[in-house]
Amino acid sequence: MAVHEIVMENEQAWRPDTDTRKGLLQIWQVMKECIYRGTHTPGMLPGGLEVKRRSAELNKRLLKGQPYSNYEGWLEAIRKGGNDFTYILDWVSCFALAVNEENASFGRVVTAPTNGAAGVIPAVLQYYIAFCDGNKEEKIMQFLLTAAEIGSIFKKGATLSAAMGGCQAEIGVSSAMAAAGLTDVMGVQRQVLMAAEIAMEHHLGLTCDPIGGRVQVPCIERNTMGAIKAITASQLARQSAPDYAKVSLDAVIKTMWDTALDMSHKYKETADGGLAVNVPLSLPEC
């Protein structure tokens, strides 16, 4: 059975399949609305750091004045731009920026697996919808079921909290979740866990050092990097043979937790180390 099939079967212990499907599509609806809202809201972020929102400006620049009036029209306008590598790269960044700018502005986001890392999974799923296989409900649910299970495994074996494990526990886990979900919907089941492992392996040791204690710098940009790494991890896994992998998902989860335990408290969301103390924008605690 595929990962998403196992998860769906397990969910039957809690509720009918119809309710699970409805819930999954509602999760995507909130993610989708968040992306669209974020890509169409310019201005400055609250909080005193004077951080400018970039997603709306990037969206406008990429679409070059193409007309549309809703999400579906916007999606079609994006697709008309083609499949150039840099074009797609800009859009993935735009999607991730949009979500975390919304988060920093008290907008509605899906905690996936945390608010500070909420942009990675929506950005990768939106990338899949826009550039890979269209807007199909079955694929969207498949992606979310697989991603959620990877997040659950990390939660049980390590942590999802930056306060406990640094940003490897937030952006790293969200990247692993997105990589697994993308690999699943691309139809390569044997490489799903391999993709999750690759994504986390290259986030190990990532610190959480928000300037001024605000979830803005470097947090918002960090979601773009997590999304791109997820896509790269999926791509690499799909071109590899799991039989020859040197690192298992279990091993990388244990390593992430060991690293979290060894990490100084300064780098665990306290704003007492890293960029938070080396960038002059830093604000004192009230």
Local structure of 101: helix, strand or coil: helix
Give the pLDDT confidence score for residue 285 in this predicted structure.
52
Give the pLDDT confidence score for residue 147 in this predicted structure.
98
Cα radius of gyration (the chain): 18
Residue tagged 């919808």 (tokens): 129
> What are the Cα distances from residue 131, in Å, to 124, 170, 177?
10, 26, 19
Give the pLDDT confidence score for residue 286 in this predicted structure.
45
Cβ neighbours, 10 Å, residue 10: 12
Rounded CA gap, 251 and 59, in Å? 39
Give the pLDDT confidence score for residue 142 in this predicted structure.
97
Domain boundaries, the chain: 17-278
Residue among 116, 220, 225, 100 nearest 163 (CA): 116
What single-letter amino acid sits at 64?
K
Rounded CA gap, 171 and 189, in Å? 23
Rounded CA gap, 186 and 146, in Å? 12
H or E segment and range at residue 283: none
User: Is 213 in contact with 276 (CB distance < 8 Å)?
Assistant: yes
Residue tagged 């809703």 (tokens): 70
The two tokens of residue 17 are: 């399949």
Give the pLDDT confidence score for residue 281 in this predicted structure.
66
- pLDDT, tens digit only, all 286 positions of the chain: 999 999 999 999 999 999 999 999 999 999 999 999 999 999 999 999 999 999 999 999 999 999 999 999 999 999 999 999 999 999 999 999 999 999 999 999 999 999 999 999 999 999 999 999 778 999 999 999 999 999 999 999 999 999 999 999 999 999 999 999 999 999 888 999 999 999 999 999 999 999 999 999 999 999 999 999 999 999 999 999 988 999 999 999 999 999 999 999 999 999 999 999 999 764 555 4
Say which DSSP state 260 is in: H
pTM here is 0.96
